[in-house]
Amino acid sequence: MSEQETDYEVGQDNVQIMGLDVHNPVFAVSGLTIVAFVFFSLVFHEQASAFFGWLRPTLTSNFDWVFMIACNMFVVFSLFLVVSPYGKIRLGGEDAKPDYSYGGWIAMLFAAGMGIGLVFWGVAEPISHYGSSLGGTAVGENGLRTDWAPLGAAAGDVDAARDLAMAATIFHWGLHPWAVYAVVALGLAFFSFNRGLPLTMRSVFYPLLGERTWGPLGHIIDILAVFATIFGLATSLGLGASQALAGLNYLFDVPISDGMSVLLIIAITAFALVSVIAGLDKGVKRLSEVNMILAAVLLVLVLIVGPTAAIISGFFSGLVDYAVALPALSNWVGREDTNFMQGWTAFYWAWWISWSPFVGMFIARISRGRTIREFIICVIFIPTLVGALWMNVFGVAALEQVASGTAQALSDAALELKMFKMFEAFPMTGLLSFIGIVLVVVFFVTSSDSGSLVIDTITAGGKTDAPTAQRVFWCILEGAIAIVLLLGGGLGALQAASIATGFPFAIVLMLMCVSVMIGLVRERRRR
């Protein structure tokens, strides 16, 4: 089959099993492997906990350079496409029209991309960086420094520590993660909408693999995508469950225990199932819009009741500090703050990479009709600005409390409780906390249901209308993975799982950039 042909029959490799329309052997291998992982992790609980405790530092200390190089490559590649003639290419062809309005489109890609993470880390990360950077040396486990030349900071400078904390936080939620998503989403959308190939990860590699795309090599790519997606999702679901439970304990004295965490994940997975059954337009789209409304309400309330002037000025100065520190933060050679680079940055990059099949495919499905230039700008720059705004509102509000010396409880609180501790200093504490809990839960649901749709598409060979029972299967399995990882080592186990699946997929995505470039060059020649 030549790349120009558009009549590849997705169903030719699919088999019917008990009413399921599955892609053989992607569904069987990935499904059975993940089920076996859940079983053995529950049976050999102590061994699993020890393994996860060893896995994360091993990967981040030995392969941090792989994650750094990969994500830098994605940013450069994306920026090149914006300014190049390839930016004029329209996804779906010259006459294609967008399926969704700008508002609905951006709401869905943002809610799927980072929802739970923003709520969890909005207060926790700036405070963590600020506390570890005081004194001008590698203090604490994060190893961030205040005597950083890029920001002109002097050792022991409290204001410099605050600026650096926000710059580092925006760095982890800015251009790099969204460039990861953009590369994957662009490749999927282009080869599906413009070349008529199945909406699955293997299709993006057709320029490199040719007919081998539909053989064992293609199977491996799709199976890796399933593993990366489900473990990346489980990490976020675990974070969301721990924060929601911490908020319920704070407001209603709900006990914090493994049993309650399990019950909460089960309950929210049940809500996700309802959305999964409703489908993309009736379920995921509506929940994403609810997410954005709730997030906007909470953001505005914190802006009003918090240190408004400091937050507004901090937003602009934070963007400047981020831009100034970006080259140094992106560098991986000769870094003295290796604990920060490995413990924070390498983990984040692995997490975003593990999320990329899920978020990338989801963005691809909703992006028909956009030009590549429009696509890149909206998928990278708008979410970066919104993410920076969110982190600045919550981060500056928290840092103002900590810097004043009146919020020791906020500094000492567990990560999942820091947001609720910050709300104690504001009016309407109960209302803010309640909205925060609801927001986490709804983000939890949208991540789970949209993730189930994506995994189902991959394992069905690119079909977007596979039987509902398959989506239900993957939704339930996502919840089971989150439960197993929480019981098998908590936050550390969740992070280890993301890194383990993100590492091999980083190599896959770097090759994807090459394949996408080949496809775009051929497309422009035809035009």
pLDDT at 112 over 60: no
What distance in Å separates the CA atoms of residue 514 and residue 140, rounded to the nearest whole number?
40
Burial class of residue 338, CB neighbours in 10 A (0-12, 13-18, 19+): middle
pLDDT tens figures, 452-482: 777 878 877 777 666 777 778 888 888 888 7
Report cis status (omega within 30 of 0) of the bond before 327.
no
Count Cβ neighbours within 10 Å for each residue of 173-208 and write b for 16 or more, e otherwise: bbbbbbbbbbbbbbbbbbbbbbbebbbbbbbbbbbe
Distance CA 488, CA 38 (A): 10
CA 434/CA 118 separation, integer angstroms? 17
Tokens representing 306 are 């918090």
pLDDT of residue 90: 94
How is the chain split into domains, by residue range? 10-74+100-526
Give the closest residue to 318 by CA, choosing from 127, 177, 170, 134.
170
> What is the SS3 assignment for 371?
strand
Cα of 256 vs its chain's centroid, Å: 26
pLDDT for 359 beyond 80: yes
% of the chain exceeding 90 in pLDDT: 27
- The pLDDT confidence band at residue 28, using thresholds 50, 70 and 90, is confident
pLDDT computed for residue 468 by the predictor: 75
pLDDT at 464: 65
Question: Does domain 10-74+100-526 sit in CATH 1.10.3470?
Answer: no
Rounded CA gap, 12 and 88, in Å?
34
Residue 280 has pLDDT above 90, yes or no: no
CB 108 within 8 A of CB 366: yes
Residue-by-residue DSSP string for 154-173: PTT-HHHHHHHHHHHHHHHT
Determine if the pTM surpasses 0.75: yes
Degrees to nearest 5, angle at CA 525 with 521 and 527: 120
Residues with Cβ within 8 Å of residue 491, at least 6 apart in sequence: 238, 239, 242, 415
On average, the pLDDT of the chain sits at 81
Strand, coil or helix: what is 524?
helix
Model pLDDT for residues 137-159, shown as the tens digit of each residue: 434 344 455 455 555 555 556 67
Tell me how many helices (H) and strands (E) the chain has.
19, 2
For residue 443, is pLDDT > 90? no
Q: Which two tokens stand for residue 493?
A: 């186990």
pLDDT for 238: 75
